[in-house]
Amino acid sequence: MRIWLKLMKDTRLVSDLTVEDDSEETRTHKIFHALEQACYKFDLGKPLWLDSNVEEFKRHAKTRFTQDCFIEPVTFDYLELQVIEED
């Protein structure tokens, strides 16, 4: 599985990370691990999965974490998580 995470500010890509996970973990665990890696790289707290994030991810294999998902203030518009290749 390949997951692309990117920080966006004013419709521009600020930073991105592609995580490849070939482990035997479940799809959900792979996504959480990728998000954890991105938060570590981008020096962010982990975002909260709101109901809207879960629904968007179920429909499109993609979601955006905005300021509402983070406890501390952020300097970007959103963190986008997208599955770009399934196992």
Residue 54's pLDDT is what? 96
Q: Alpha helices, DSSP H only, in 1-87? A: 27-42, 51-60
pLDDT digits (tens, 9 = 90+) for 5-55: 999 999 999 999 999 999 999 999 999 999 999 999 999 999 999 999 999
pTM check: above 0.75: yes
| Residue 87 clears pLDDT 90, i.e. is over it | no
How many contiguous H segments (helices) and E segments (strands) does the chain have? 2, 4
Edge-to-edge strand list for the sheet holding 12-20: 12-20, 2-9, 78-85, 62-65
d(CA 63, CA 68): 13
| Residue 59 clears pLDDT 90, i.e. is over it | yes
